[in-house]
Amino acid sequence: MDFLKVNNNFNFDFYTLRKIYGCYHNIYNRTTEKDYYNNADKIDDYPKKDIIVVNNIPAYFDARINQENGTYKLFKVYYLDGFLVNLKEFINLDSYIKAQFGSKSRSNLRKFVNRLETCFDIRYEMYYGEITNKKFHFLMNALEKMISRRFLQRGDTHESLKNWDDYINSTYSMILEKKASLFVIYDGDKPIYICLNYHHQNILFFNIPSYDIDYSKFRLGSIAIMKLLDWCFSNNYTILDLSYGNLDYKHKWCNSKYIFEHHVIYNKRKVHIQFKAFIIAWILRLKAFLKKRKIDLFYHKIVGKQKRSINKKGTFKEINFTSKEITKQTFNDLSTSQIDINCDDFAFLRKTVYDLQYLNFEFTADIKVYKLNTNPNEFVVLGLNKTAMLTLVNNPYNH
């Protein structure tokens, strides 16, 4: 069953490389009724293969076989659920949000944006059709670090990092050709949320998002989706594809689901090959059944525990503080020295300071942070609205 190991990930190769396997003559977009033809000079040795397995084909695409004189047929296996936002029946972002969310949720979404913009010097950028090489590499490096830190916190690994060199090598030119984009939320000049997207006809494929976990209170994911949907309306995109992954935010934002297919393509003129393809398809259907029933999660949970026990050096170092409000007079009586949390030496303070900004509606420029000269584990966050004394409970970085 070596064919089960064939790594033909259609979704990855089509969007990130614009590659169509030689077994397909064209890709038909059911949402626009438009074709995208395979213009490759060489057909990837397809005629030499009796069986080829292709994974992860979104059902809104009809991947049509290159018939080669009618030799080939396929078995379809319906695998994962995909999530998308279909904007075709809506005129703008407000109309979609009104249809998708209740009044309380709509109010919360507005509060998320207002709170973020109240606390930080926020701007939003969509790099699509234009970006400098220097800016591209800066943002991709920042995105890689965000992913690594977030998944270290989760005790997990992100599949995209395995192919990071492919993303680096292909995406810059694709952004210039308007086949890809980087959406960024900045705090000043610092990116705090980045999403790598791909574009095809009317589809914006939301591919690799991540964020600075120090800003976790600020609902950057929801804000980013709102901004991307607004961009879709302004640029005549009718589909925002959030792909697979049974995550809460996808259920909240998406108004439509689709199926990812696996294709087992075989030479129908050889009976033993047709039987072999049938067995492969049957095994893939069994895997899909187990995944749907979440039976596979037990296996991955055990394997994940084993991996984490092997790599104990890769654990996330959680830092905890106790916080109490103090008066400005109390602060004035203390012996302190001002510090800059943008320096690496005091990076461990950022999340706690940002959390206080969130709670107290404090703008960054109005916040000052001090360390106590009498105790290296105590700090003061001085704002316009409130002043807080922080005491470091654990100090894994030995600052």
pLDDT at 307: 46
Look at residue 95 and tell me whether its pLDDT is greater than 90: yes
Q: Give, in degrees to the nearest 5, the angle at Cα 27 between 242 and 31.
A: 55
Tens of pLDDT, residue by residue over 173-195, are: 999 999 999 999 999 999 999 99
* DSSP-assigned letter for residue 9: B
In the chain, where the domains are located: 2-80+258-298, 89-237, 321-392
214-217 CB contacts, 8 Å cutoff, 24+ apart: 214/350, 214/351, 214/354, 215/187, 215/351, 215/354, 216/351, 217/354, 217/355, 217/358
User: What does DSSP say about strands 336-339 and 368-372: parallel, antiparallel, or unpaired?
Assistant: antiparallel
pLDDT at 288: 86
Separation CA 351–CA 338 (nearest Å): 18
Instruction: Band the pLDDT of 50: cuts 50, 70, 90.
Output: confident
Mean pLDDT of 13-37: 90
The residue type at 232: C
Separation CA 316–CA 308 (nearest Å): 11
Mean pLDDT of 76-102: 95
Instruction: Band the pLDDT of 319: cuts 50, 70, 90.
Output: confident
Instruction: Band the pLDDT of 3: cuts 50, 70, 90.
Output: very low
Tens of pLDDT, residue by residue over 260-269, are: 999 999 988 8
Beta bridge partners of residue 77, listed in sequence order: 262
CA distances from 203 to 58, 84, 99, 258 (A): 12, 10, 21, 14
pTM score of the predicted model: 0.89
Name the 3-class secondary structure at 149: helix
Mean pLDDT of 137-164: 88
Backbone angles phi, psi at 213, to 5 degrees: -65, -10
Average per-residue pLDDT for the chain: 88
pLDDT at 381: 96
CATH for 89-237, options being 3.40.190.10, 3.40.190.290, 3.40.50.2000, 3.40.630.30: 3.40.630.30
Q: Which residue has the tokens 């030799």?
A: 71
Mean pLDDT of 145-154: 88
pLDDT at 296: 56
Q: Which residue has the tokens 């800003």?
A: 215
Separation CA 260–CA 58 (nearest Å): 5
62: exposed, middle or buried (Cβ count in 10 Å: 0-12, 13-18, 19+)? middle
Tens of pLDDT, residue by residue over 241-259, are: 999 888 889 999 999 999 9
> Dihedral through CA 99, CA 100, CA 104, CA 106, nearest 10?
-80
Q: Residue 140 contacts by C-beta under 8 Å, 6 or more apart in sequence? A: 167, 168, 171, 182, 196
Instruction: Band the pLDDT of 303: cuts 50, 70, 90.
Output: very low
Instruction: Band the pLDDT of 316: cuts 50, 70, 90.
Output: low
